[in-house]
Amino acid sequence: MLIAYYMILGFKLVGHHGSVWRMTLSTSVRTYSLDPFPSGSRKTPAQVGKPEWISPSSGGVQRNLSAVAVPLQGQFRPLCRYDPLDLGDVDENTQKALACKHLRRFIVNPSLARIVTDHLAGDIDDGKAVIFECNPGPGVLTRSLLNRGAQRVVALESDANFLPELKDLEQKLEGQLDVVHCDFFKLDPIGHGSMKPPAMYSEKLFSDLAISEVPWSADVPVKIVGIFSQRNEKNIMWKLIYNLFERRSIFRYGRVELIMFISQKEYTKLVTRPRDYKNYQAFTVLWQMACDIELLHEEPLSSFLTVTKNSGRPSSKNTQSQSDNLCLVRITPREDLFNSHLTPLNGSTLVLMVKQCLAKRKSRLIEQINSWSPGSGSELISKLSFLDDTMTGDVYPDEFKRLFELMEQSGSFTQSWLYEETLETTNTGHA
């Protein structure tokens, strides 16, 4: 049995003297494909490594972190299956995170990293999507994902202070990890011309990673994992929803899924239902219309390290109470979002229509429609089976979509009714 175990690890038995076996490590070179999609052609030579011994006392615990990973079909298996990567401890990871000079939150506790990874177990086992990790910092979650058997992780790190250690980890693995100096939350800035990292265009990012566009009806090609910035969380999500309805930026490449920590305040708005006139906003309607939203986990804010701009010191004053939670949410664009009436070409028109309707959530929907096309309100209200006194804050997301489709079919509406009134409200931070 011992001989068989050594052979599994890649050792070649060449003989023995007395009762002592002498072993050499087979070093045949293999290649690992970095592109999970058929259209990709990028390949990287394998970095042959030397497996380290796992002591009998600790081997059981360490192997549990990675033994459940699905073997890579026709590819070199990750070294961490035999030698799980060290996740460090809270104090060590905290010291590394303090190198950051910007306002950011970090996962520094290995236990929290494993909780997040457990919620991604099905995604990792499925192995069809590339995992983009936003701002990994000291890389605690990065290592946890790799230990679990993630076939390809792309670490998008905006702070150059964390790049050397992440790059060092990249070199030690068999093509499972790509490290890119990039700020995911600032992808595709307004303007043209060359960009200096961490600013980047999504087209360059996906091209460099050899990730091709796939049809909207295809499987999810990329899963984005991370923590939304507390400084401009709402604005980032508005930018994403505009890009989603227009199939621009990351959504040009397919139904990119978000698995992100979001503040409890914004999560409440994200999932609230009609007639909650305080929280039911255009933001709510658009995300619910476009995506399936699933709460995976809630974690106290105190479990994260919050670093300030001031010399990377931990923050004692946050915009949220330490008793608040961050919510790990899976947001998956719907395969049936687009149709013959709602397309990426008129998606932004729908966004503006919803923003106008929800600007005053206790206004009558029929009056809003008549303001766009006089006399059309009663007909459309009747087709939607609404009462004349239905308020905009009472309408469900799928009903807003149906209203838009009816307007597109009627021929009585021109896009001028939107653009003339929204020139001053195009700031994506507006509700």
Annotated binding site for S-adenosyl-L-methionine: 107, 157, 183
Q: Which residues are annotated as a binding site?
A: 107, 157, 183
Structural tokens at position 197: 């990292």
**Maximum separation of any 2 CA atoms in the chain, in Å:** 100
Structural tokens at position 274: 């009609």
* 397-410 vs 347-357: helix crossing angle, rounded to 10: 120
Contact 271, 293 (CB under 8 A): yes
**Cβ atoms within 10 Å, residue 310:** 9
